[in-house]
């Protein structure tokens, strides 16, 4: 090998690893993440914990923030063929035949704003709650019931009268 080729290889090896977006097969992001980690890849799949009604009961479930996608960190000169044949992986997201590099500041921002892994306890009728978003933010109310999967019915004292109101579940926290 000549000296220029060796220097070129050293430069490529010293390049920092970049983040890329992986499109997963339907409902297989967790499987894809597990298999990529087993192969030694660094992965990041942002998740959030939500309350859902499953079979008529409220349950706390962890879901992907971006269903069907995850981020993987790779060296630009790495062999990507094992990644494409990994169980659960559909393809690497590309534009014009080149894989899409996700800027590091986007990944850092996702890490910073990631919800805590601590599960929020499920709400029971009569539980005090605090509204945390919207025009009623910082006001207290009483949880009455769920209204579908994503909304809650609250009882609130407004203008010396008890009022029922329905809000998105994400707008309230246990008081």
Q: Chain-centre distance of CA 5, in angstroms?
A: 42
Tokens of 75: 């060296």
Q: Report pLDDT digits (tens) over 122-152.
A: 788 899 999 988 889 999 999 999 887 678 9
Q: Judge contact between 89 and 25, C-beta under 8 A.
A: yes
Q: What is the pLDDT of residue 121?
A: 52
Angle at 170 between CA 162 and CA 167, to 5 degrees: 30
- pLDDT confidence of residue 11: 42
Three-state DSSP class for residue 87: coil
3-state SS assignment for residue 77? coil
Structure confidence at residue 18 (pLDDT) = 94
- The domain defined by 3-113 folds into Alpha-Beta Plaits (3.30.70)
Are 123 and 143 in contact by the 8 Å Cβ rule? The answer is: yes
pLDDT tens digits, 149-172 = 678 999 999 888 999 999 988 888
Predicted local distance difference test score (pLDDT) of residue 104: 94
Q: What is the pLDDT at residue 25?
A: 96
| Dist. CA 3–CA 71, nearest whole Å | 36
Check whether 49 has a pLDDT greater than 90: no
Q: Tokens in use for 134?
A: 């919207």
Q: Are strands 69-74 and 18-24 parallel, antiparallel or unpaired?
A: antiparallel
Would the pLDDT of 3 be above 70? no
Overall pTM surpassing 0.85 (yes/no): no
Contact 175, 164 (CB under 8 A): no
The CATH architecture annotation of domain 128-174 reads: Roll (2.30)
Q: pLDDT digit string (tens) for 77-123?
A: 888 889 989 999 999 999 998 899 999 999 998 888 776 554 445 78
pLDDT at 44: 95
Look at the chain and count its residues. 175
- In this prediction, residue 14 carries a pLDDT of 56
| Integer CA distances (angstroms), 2 to 5, 8, 78, in order | 6, 10, 22
pLDDT band, very low/low/confident/very high, at 56 (cuts 50, 70, 90) = low
> Where in the chain is CATH 2.30.30.30?
128-174
| Contact by Cβ (8 Å): 173, 116 | no
CATH 3.30.70.940 location in the chain: 3-113
**pLDDT given at position 53:** 67
Whole-angstrom Cα distance, residue 172 to residue 152? 9
């Amino acid at each position: 090998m000549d000296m220029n080729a060796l220097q070129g290889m050293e430069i490529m090896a010293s390049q920092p690893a970049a983040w890329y977006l992986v499109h997963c097969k339907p409902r297989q992001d967790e499987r894809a993440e597990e298999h990529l980690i087993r192969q030694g890849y660094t992965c990041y799949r942002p998740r959030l914990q939500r309350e859902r009604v499953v079979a008529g009961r409220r349950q706390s479930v962890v879901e992907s923030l971006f269903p069907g996608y995850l981020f993987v960190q790779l060296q630009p000169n790495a062999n990507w063929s094992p990644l494409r044949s990994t169980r659960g992986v559909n393809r690497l997201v590309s534009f014009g035949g080149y894989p899409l590099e996700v800027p590091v500041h986007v990944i850092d921002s996702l890490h910073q704003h990631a919800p805590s892994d601590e599960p929020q306890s499920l709400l029971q009728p009569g539980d005090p709650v605090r509204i945390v978003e919207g025009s009623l933010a910082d006001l207290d109310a009483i949880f009455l019931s769920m209204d579908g999967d994503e909304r809650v019915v609250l009882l609130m004292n407004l203008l010396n009268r008890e009022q029922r109101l329905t809000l998105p579940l994400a707008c309230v926290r246990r008081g």
